[in-house]
A = this chain, B = another copy of it.
Amino acid sequence: MLFSNISILDENFDYQEGKWLGVLDGKIAYIGDEDPRVAADSPDFGEVIDGKDRLAMPALYNAHAHAPMTLLRGYAENVPLQQWLNDLVWPFEAKMTAEDNYWATLLSCAEMARYGVVSFSDMYYHTRDRARATVECGLKANLCEGLLAFEPKPYSEYPIAQLNLDLIDELHGTDEGRILIDYCIHAEYTSNPITCAGVAEAAKAAGLPIHVHVSETKSEHEECKERHDGMTPIQYFESLGVLDVPVIAAHCVWVEDDDIRIMREHNVSVAHNPASNMKLGSGFAPISKMLREGVNVCLGTDGMASNNNHDMFQDMYLMALLGKGFRLDPTAVSPKQALYAATRAGALAQGREDCGLLKEGFKADIAILDISSASWCPRTDMIGNIVYAGHGSDVVMTLCDGRVVYRDGVCPGVDIEAAKAELASRVKRIVASL
């Protein structure tokens, strides 16, 4: 595939017009000012697409999701957090079957592809079913099987220990590396030190990351300190060796200065979920501080019961906007920092080193935007336009490893009408059974 005369965000996120962009064998093969086909030894790029009024930018990486929760979109609105969890979300989830998980993941994938998202770090259950849906849609995912470990016993005594080994055997690195398996600890308040230490050892032995919720709410953060001699969740996890492997720490709303230092030292990636944190009234993470300290801040959509969409443009927008609004500082959190968080930072957090930038040799993960509408004019500051005025729905084509996963309303790998019908009837069945 070859785009002519297209606008791009280059590897430094500088906006450039009138470029040629060539995709070959799943990678970005050419970015330049000339038609690469004039070279005598030019490969055959296949389809040539007119890039007029089109912007190519790195596709987006969703660093924290619960894809099957799309079944719960709109299910638990305007209720306090504990009621949300105890009375609504958990009883609903208890009724969800493997097939429910498959269909909801499929629809989530279609939604992400539609908004230019190519990869997601997903914490939930029924990992095989989630992997199947992801592969069908053509996306990448770092999947982890959720671990609730209330009982203080060795990790190896939890059945999930063997399940994770099986999943690694069966799935890790499959679909040309698009499917990866992570380890999981749900959170400090749903675990215990013995089991956590065991997960850390297992992840270290397997050379895999751990995905964990950290300091999402104030009460979670404060109660951890009460339980563990003043240790915050980050300090608790550090003391158990959890931070000795690559970690994606979701939320981090209430982390303290010392936590930020620890996260930086251990190269923890923070998955910032501004939409979810606002909607559930959890608070706003100190991301400007984290960015200043050099922490790898990524972006996540979280589950659809608390977002309620997979449009990461909205999360970029919130990161840049609220970074300013919450601190009453219009210079905090630049649009470029938000764009980096949604792209390169997420790819790095997922261990996908050759992803997240438009750069020759990198994987061809590209979102093509229609920039012809009034909102994109004038083009004084295109990063500002993307982050403040852009929409996920401006995406007209999404490439994942060079393959089209969304184009002009169609996800080639997903029968959207079938998936929508399945979701509607499955929600009906679950709600009727509650």
A: residues with CB less than 8 A from B are 70-75, 77-81, 84, 107-108, 110-111, 114, 218, 275, 277-284, 307-311, 314, 317-318, 321-322, 324-332, 334-335, 372-375, 377-382, 384-385, 388-389, 391-394, 416, 419-420, 423-424, 427
A55 to chain B, nearest CB (A): 14
Contact B389 A392 (CB under 8 A): no
A360 and B277 CA atoms in complex are apart in Å by 40
Q: A389-B73, A391-B311, A391-B393 known; A321 and B278 CB under 8 Å? A: yes
Contact B427 A281 (CB under 8 A): no
Contact A381 B77 (CB under 8 A): yes
A65 to chain B, nearest CB (A): 14
22 contacts across the A-B interface (CB closer than 8 A): A73-B377, A73-B380, A73-B381, A74-B380, A74-B381, A74-B385, A77-B335, A77-B381, A81-B330, A108-B374, A278-B324, A281-B325, A281-B330, A281-B332, A282-B325, A308-B384, A309-B389, A322-B322, A322-B325, A374-B419, A377-B424, A380-B427
Residue in B closest to A327 when the chains form the complex, CB atoms: B281
Residue among A311, A325, A329, A416 with max Cβ neighbours from chain B (10 Å): A325
A143 and B419 CA atoms in complex are apart in Å by 47
Residue among A73, A275, A277 with max Cβ neighbours from chain B (10 Å): A73
Q: A275-B321, A280-B330, A327-B281 known; A77 and B374 CB under 8 Å? A: no
Contact A388 B423 (CB under 8 A): no
Contacts of A393 in B (CB 8 A): 373, 391, 393-394
Residue in B closest to A275 when the chains form the complex, CB atoms: B321
Contact B325 A107 (CB under 8 A): no
A384 and B308 CA atoms in complex are apart in Å by 8
Residue among A107, A330, A388 with max Cβ neighbours from chain B (10 Å): A330
A284 and B373 CA atoms in complex are apart in Å by 30
Contact B73 A309 (CB under 8 A): no
A182 and B5 CA atoms in complex are apart in Å by 47
A108 and B311 CA atoms in complex are apart in Å by 24
A394 and B392 CA atoms in complex are apart in Å by 11
A164 and B330 CA atoms in complex are apart in Å by 35
Residue in B closest to A377 when the chains form the complex, CB atoms: B420
Contact A307 B420 (CB under 8 A): no
Contact A311 B375 (CB under 8 A): yes
Q: Which of B80, B281, B308, B427 contacts A388 (CB 8 A)?
A: B308
Contacts of A324 in B (CB 8 A): 278-281
Contact A331 B80 (CB under 8 A): yes
A424 and B424 CA atoms in complex are apart in Å by 46
Contact A374 B420 (CB under 8 A): yes
Contact A378 B279 (CB under 8 A): no
